[in-house]
Structure formats: C-alpha cells, structure tokens
C-alpha cells in the first residue's frame, strides 16, 4: 500500500513531499504505535519536533 501512495505522488510536484513515520509511546500503557504522514520536505523537522 505504501508503494502506491508514494508512487502516486511522484507525478508533478510529488518529489517535494516525503513520507515520514514516527514512533509514539502511549502514556497510559507504555505501548508504542506508529504515526505516518506525508509532509512537504521543508516541514519534516517540524513533524518530528511536535508532540
């Protein structure tokens, strides 16, 4: 599925976007989950810095 999402963005201005994945810890039970998002290349650092 990820390949289709990324491949569809490669048409036109899609090369200016990046798929980012961040591991997030649940404060209630300590389990980890993954948060995926497609962001503009300029906003990658902001994605990882926000909580």
Overall residue count recorded for the chain in this entry: 51
Mean pLDDT for all residues in the chain: 83
Query: How high is the pLDDT of residue 20?
Result: 94
Instruction: Identify the three-state secondary structure at position 2.
Output: helix
Task: Locate 17 and state its tokens.
Answer: 């976007």
Query: How high is the pLDDT of residue 15?
Result: 83
pLDDT in tens, 1-51: 556 666 665 566 778 899 999 999 999 999 999 999 999 999 999 998 986
- What's the pTM? 0.61
Helix locations, the chain, DSSP H: 2-9, 44-49
Compute the distance between CA of residue 19 and CA of residue 6 in angstroms, rounded to an integer. 7
């Amino acid at each position: 599925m990820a390949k289709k999402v990324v491949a569809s963005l490669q048409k036109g201005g899609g090369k200016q976007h990046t798929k980012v994945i961040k591991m997030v810890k649940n404060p209630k039970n300590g389990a980890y989950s993954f948060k995926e998002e497609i962001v503009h290349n300029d906003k990658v650092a902001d994605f990882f810095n926000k909580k």
